[in-house]
Amino acid sequence: MTAPTDIKKVAVLGAGLMGHGIALELAAHHRSVHLYDVSEQLLHKAVNSARVGLKALNQAGLISSDEIETSLSRISTSLDLSETVENTDLVIEAVSENLDLKRSLFHKVDKIAPAQRSTGFEYVYFSTKRTSCGHAASISSCGCSLL
């Protein structure tokens, strides 16, 4: 499995409150973030919210002004799930707390995973809710790790 220090590219699935915050933190910590959602409006809002969050970090003296744009440049958005998870080291699930939605998402990623693994792709699902993990583990068949 990929060591934490080797994680360079992260897919964040869901651009809502949790997703944009996760993307912000990862980008601020020098990770390339591929943010996925089914809504172009949510993706746009997420990037704007990340900008606001980065400005707050700057005002608190935690990052420089230059780091705002540099961090934002590390965030890409997509409406295409395959494109989002392609060549990533980590997949973080941050969609709405709807079990059917999560189940559907895990199944879609599972279908993408075998093709990715054949090129050396490894990934971990990280669910943003503890209650989701048990359900996700029971519905994910890809052989990946679930945290």
Asked whether 61 and 73 are in contact (CB, 8 A), the reply is: no
User: What is the pLDDT tens value at each position of the chain, 147 positions in all?
Assistant: 555 567 889 999 999 989 999 999 999 999 999 999 999 999 999 999 999 999 999 999 999 999 999 999 999 999 999 999 988 888 898 998 888 888 888 888 888 865 555 445 555 555 555 544 455 444 454 445 444
- Span between the terminal Cα atoms of the chain, in Å: 13
pLDDT of residue 88: 85
- In sequence order, the β-bridge partners of residue 126 are 92
Q: Report how many domains make up the chain.
A: 1
- In sequence order, the β-bridge partners of residue 90 are 10
pLDDT of residue 106: 84
- Reported for 52-58, long-range contacts at CB under 8 A and 24+ positions apart, including other chains, are 53/20, 53/21, 53/24, 54/24, 54/27, 54/28, 57/28
CATH code (residue 105):
3.40.50.720
Angle of helix 99-117 relative to helix 130-139, nearest 10 degrees, comes to 50
Q: pTM above the 0.85 mark?
A: no
Q: Domain range spanning residue 75?
A: 4-146
